[in-house]
Amino acid sequence: MSAPVPLRHSLLVRLLAASIAIATCAIAATAWLTARGTTRALQRDQVAAAGQQTSVYADLVAYAAGHPSWDQAGPVLAELGARTGLEIRLTTPDGRLLGGSPRAVKAYVVVDPLHVDPGVVPAHHEYIDDRAVGPYRLTADEQRQERADSEKVQTCLNGKGHTVRATALPGGRIALSTDAPAAARDSCGLRDFATHVYRSEQAALVELGELMLPCLDQNDLQGKVTSAVTWRYFPNESGIDAERAAGCTATGRRIQLERYVAPPAQLFINAAPAGTAPVGGFRLSGPNIARTAGAALLVLTVTVLITALVGARLVRPLRALTAAARHPAGHQPGMPVRSRDEIGALTAALNEMSERRERAEAQRREMVSDIAHELRTPLSNIRTWLEAAEDGLAPPVTDAELTSLLLTEAMQLQHIVADLQDLADADAGTLRLDRRRVHVDELIRQAVTAHHGSAEAAGVTLRHRDTCGAAIDADPVRIAQVLTNLVTNAIRYTPAGGMVTVGARTENADVVLTVADTGRGIGEHDLPYVFDRFWRTDPSRNRDTGGSGLGLAIVRDLVAAHGGTIAVTSRTGRGSTFTVRLPTYGTDDHEPGSRKVKTSAIDGS
Ligand code: ADP
């Protein structure tokens, strides 16, 4: 008995490994695609949220620049929260709530119009928001004056064919920009318009100058910058440190504007309400990783369970089949066919094969025993006579008679061995036929002549009926052997006074040879077995009543080797007729001649 299948070759283990690999790949691919999609979505959200945060900041800076406190900022914060969908909160630097949602916990930026964050909104001069105009705001009259003057300048420049663009500044001033040359600008009064200082501005600038003084002193810039016409400084001396001068202007301006703008406030914004994903990658939190790993494990477990279940169902009948196949021949249990799938078909095929094997094995055993039996009788006869001769105990037989008896038995042995050889050749497909054109009438005439003597001795009339004039493509020796066997049997099993008739006729493309006798016939139940090897109606194997039981088996194989069929009809006590059907010469689909042939189907009824 062979060893069980090693685990690494087991079908079940391979199925499990394959399904685990497939499930792992599927989980990994799904996780990767989901993470990528989610990351992209979150990044998009994040970019959108960043834009919204910037706009919240800009709006709050604008509010602070125009209001001296945050007292009225509540509605503005509410409106911003509703518009952007963000949670917004504003507190003083020391944490006192100024307005907005208390849920906003993420510190975003400090809102201070005097120190705007250039990273969030575009840079302003010295980081002071342009909209923080404070005392520089023109009065209504001054603004009217400004508009009238601006229109005058624009009309003049337009009249000279130049384009002018007017921009309203936060404090009420108007900035004009034009492509006109300096002369045209001067003649139209653009310079005067730009440098004109209104009264309210004048007061503020004087104040600014004073507020700048300590800083200018400190930096040794006193008297080196003009008293400003706007809040920007204009160096009147080259080579002064422009940055420090600008710093002093900004310092003074901040002190001046403090009273007019809202104090610095801390802005809190919950950056991305939909989720938080850092730009550049989607990172799962600890619990999320655990959840994902759990789901993956569950999928894998279910996959393994299903595969193990299906695999076990597949493997179980295969194992049973293997176990059954390992039983010695003749002891194999028939496997029940439980399904109509491939395994069911395999089981049925194996059952069939096992039955065939058992039949073949039984036939082999039977044949060996038959052969032993057939050889035993002549051999024991030879031995008995030789022993008797040796002991001088064989008075009834003369030396000549003994020799004749021994010769008869030796010929019988040779006959059996030759028959067995013929059958073996037929089985192996190595039966050699030297085929040629054989005239049927001549064939029959020879057979009848050859057996005339034995028929006469048995008191049986042997006759040749009909002539057909046809020819067959056959080995004359082998086909004569067929007729000899049939005629010998007919004479042997026909009592004295009976008749054996050999005939031939053509039927369609066939030649039909018949050997009919009026002998004892063959019983209906025995008829299907007459062509079996070693089969005889007389099971006692009495030599006087017949031969070895191989004659008809050889006849059947020889006829089949010629591409023909043989059949028998018989009635007990009335005689038998053996009918051999062979193709007429020239009608065979293969060229006549010498060849080896395989035995073909036989009609035994
Ligand atoms: P055997 O050498 O015994 O004749 P065969 O194979 O030629 O072997 O015949 C098998 C058996 O068939 C014979 O033993 C005989 O019983 C039966 N048989 C064959 N031919 C005839 C026949 N013409 N009439 C009656 N029985 C026959």
Q: Tell whether the torsion through CA atoms of 312, 318, 322 and 327 is positive or negative.
A: positive
Beta pairing class for 107-111 and 164-168: unpaired
143 and 97, same structural domain? no
Residue 520 CA, closest ligand 1 atom number: 25
**Could you tell me the end-to-end alpha-carbon distance of the chain, in angstroms, rounded to an integer?**
44
Q: Calculate how far, in angstroms, residue 285's C-alpha sits from the geometric centre of ligand 1.
A: 95
Average pLDDT over residues 502-530: 94
What is the model's pLDDT at position 437? Answer: 94
Task: Indicate if ligand 1 lies below 6 Å from the C-beta of 212.
Answer: no
Q: H-helix or E-strand containing 486?
A: helix 476-492
DSSP 230: S
In a domain, 3, yes or no: no
In a domain, 127, yes or no: no
**33-47, 144-158, 302-316: least confident range:** 33-47
Q: 419: which 2 tokens?
A: 């028959």
Beta pairing class for 461-465 and 499-507: parallel
User: Other CB atoms closer than 10 Å to residue 297's CB: what's the count?
Assistant: 11
Cβ contacts of 489 within 8 Å, gap of 6 or more: 551, 552, 578
Supply the mean pLDDT for the chain: 82
Assess contact for 494 and 520: CB atoms under 8 A.
Answer: yes
Query: Residue 219 above 70 pLDDT?
Result: yes
- Which domain does 385 fall in, by range? 351-425
Task: Indicate if ligand 1 lies below 6 Å from the C-beta of 576.
Answer: yes
User: Other CB atoms closer than 10 Å to residue 198's CB: what's the count?
Assistant: 19
Assess contact for 417 and 374: CB atoms under 8 A.
Answer: no
590 and 445, same structural domain? yes
Q: Calculate how far, in angstroms, residue 545's C-alpha sits from the geometric centre of ligand 1.
A: 9
Q: 526: which 2 tokens?
A: 């025995």
What is the model's pLDDT at position 416? Answer: 86
Percent of the chain scored above 90 by pLDDT? 27
What is the model's pLDDT at position 333? Answer: 72
Q: Calculate how far, in angstroms, residue 566's C-alpha sits from the geometric centre of ligand 1.
A: 14
**Beta bridge partners of residue 463, listed in sequence order:** 501
In a domain, 303, yes or no: no
In a domain, 257, yes or no: yes
Rounded to an integer, what distance in angstroms lies between the CA atom of residue 425 and that of residue 419?
10
Q: How far is CA 371 from CA 302, 424, 548, in A?
A: 64, 13, 9
Task: Indicate if ligand 1 lies below 6 Å from the C-beta of 99.
Answer: no
Does residue 325 or residue 352 have the better pLDDT?
A: 352
Report CA 385 to chain centroid distance, whole Å.
Answer: 80
**117-126, 345-354, 541-550: least confident range:** 541-550
Q: Which residue has the tokens 């501005």?
A: 201
Q: Which residue has the tokens 């020391």?
A: 94
514 and 576, same structural domain? yes
Band the pLDDT of 231: cuts 50, 70, 90: low
Does residue 148 or residue 598 have the better pLDDT?
A: 148
pLDDT tens profile 52-63: 788 888 888 889
DSSP 137: P
DSSP 14-61: HHHHHHHHHHHHHHHHHHHHHHHHHHHHHHHHHHHHHHHHHHHHHHHH
Assess contact for 231 and 253: CB atoms under 8 A.
Answer: yes
What is the model's pLDDT at position 224? Answer: 66
Rounded to an integer, what distance in angstroms lies between the CA atom of residue 25 and that of residue 32?
10
Q: How far is CA 85 from CA 76, 79, 102, in A?
A: 14, 10, 15
Query: Of 286, 320, 340, which residue sits at a domain end?
Result: 286
Query: Residue 235 above 80 pLDDT?
Result: no
Q: 195: which 2 tokens?
A: 């440098």
236 and 358, same structural domain? no
22 and 86, same structural domain? yes
Task: Indicate if ligand 1 lies below 6 Å from the C-beta of 519.
Answer: yes
What is the model's pLDDT at position 263? Answer: 92
- Greatest mean pLDDT among 197-206, 479-488, 533-542 lies in 479-488
254 and 273, same structural domain? no
CATH, residue 394: 1.10.287.130
206 and 187, same structural domain? yes
Tally the C-alpha atoms within 13 A of residue 403's C-alpha that lie toward its C-beta. 3
Query: Residue 16 above 70 pLDDT?
Result: yes
In a domain, 164, yes or no: yes
Longest dimension (CA), the chain: 177
In a domain, 22, yes or no: yes
Three-state DSSP state, 119: coil
Using alpha carbons, select from 428, 494, 493 the residue that is nearest to residue 461.
494
Query: Residue 241 above 80 pLDDT?
Result: no
Residue owning the nearest CA to atom 21 of ligand 1: 489
Task: Indicate if ligand 1 lies below 6 Å from the C-beta of 604.
Answer: no
Q: Which amino acid is at 541?
A: R
User: Other CB atoms closer than 10 Å to residue 553's CB: what's the count?
Assistant: 22
What is the model's pLDDT at position 93? Answer: 86
- Greatest mean pLDDT among 202-216, 261-275, 507-521 lies in 507-521
Query: Residue 449 above 90 pLDDT?
Result: yes
Query: Residue 227 above 70 pLDDT?
Result: no
Tally the C-alpha atoms within 13 A of residue 73's C-alpha that lie toward its C-beta. 32
567 and 436, same structural domain? yes
- Greatest mean pLDDT among 65-74, 194-203, 319-328, 560-569 lies in 560-569
Query: Of 384, 409, 425, which residue sits at a domain end?
Result: 425
Assess contact for 585 and 442: CB atoms under 8 A.
Answer: no
Residue 521 CA, closest ligand 1 atom number: 25
Q: Which amino acid is at 386?
A: L
- Select from 489, 537, 540 the residue to mutate for testing ligand 1; criterion: most ligand atoms less than 8 Å from CB: 489
578 and 445, same structural domain? yes
Q: Which residue has the tokens 């008829």?
A: 527
461 and 383, same structural domain? no
In a domain, 338, yes or no: no
pLDDT tens profile 92-111: 888 888 888 777 777 778 88
Q: 284: which 2 tokens?
A: 């799962």
Query: Of 405, 425, 445, which residue sits at a domain end?
Result: 425
What is the model's pLDDT at position 458? Answer: 95
Query: Residue 577 above 80 pLDDT?
Result: yes
Does residue 55 or residue 232 have the better pLDDT?
A: 55
Share of the chain residues as helix, strand and coil, in percent rounded to the nearest 5? 50, 15, 35
In a domain, 300, yes or no: no
Rounded to an integer, what distance in angstroms lies between the CA atom of residue 61 and that of residue 262?
9
Q: H-helix or E-strand containing 90?
A: strand 87-91
Task: Indicate if ligand 1 lies below 6 Å from the C-beta of 530.
Answer: yes
Three-state DSSP state, 546: coil
148 and 256, same structural domain? yes
Band the pLDDT of 600: cuts 50, 70, 90: very low
Task: Indicate if ligand 1 lies below 6 Å from the C-beta of 489.
Answer: yes
Q: Calculate how far, in angstroms, residue 489's C-alpha sits from the geometric centre of ligand 1.
A: 6
Does residue 329 or residue 501 have the better pLDDT?
A: 501
Average pLDDT over residues 3-8: 71
Number of domains in the chain: 4
Task: Indicate if ligand 1 lies below 6 Å from the C-beta of 547.
Answer: yes
Q: Calculate how far, in angstroms, residue 494's C-alpha sits from the geometric centre of ligand 1.
A: 11
453 and 585, same structural domain? yes
Rounded to an integer, what distance in angstroms lies between the CA atom of residue 64 and that of residue 77?
12
Q: Calculate how far, in angstroms, residue 521's C-alpha sits from the geometric centre of ligand 1.
A: 10
Rounded to an integer, what distance in angstroms lies between the CA atom of residue 171 and that of residue 124?
15
- Rounded to 10 degrees, what is the CA torsion of 540, 542, 546, 548? 70
Cβ contacts of 537 within 8 Å, gap of 6 or more: 522, 523, 526
Assess contact for 603 and 567: CB atoms under 8 A.
Answer: yes
Using alpha carbons, select from 599, 405, 371, 580 the residue that is nearest to residue 490.
580
Average pLDDT over residues 270-278: 51
Task: Indicate if ligand 1 lies below 6 Å from the C-beta of 557.
Answer: no
**159-173, 230-244, 416-430: least confident range:** 230-244
Percent of the chain scored above 70 by pLDDT? 86
Phi and psi at 241, nearest 5°, equal: -75, 100
- Greatest mean pLDDT among 31-45, 72-86, 218-232, 554-568 lies in 554-568
Residue owning the nearest CA to atom 7 of ligand 1: 551
- Select from 416, 536, 566, 579 the residue to mutate for testing ligand 1; criterion: most ligand atoms less than 8 Å from CB: 536
**105-114, 208-217, 305-314, 540-549: least confident range:** 540-549
Does residue 399 or residue 28 have the better pLDDT?
A: 28
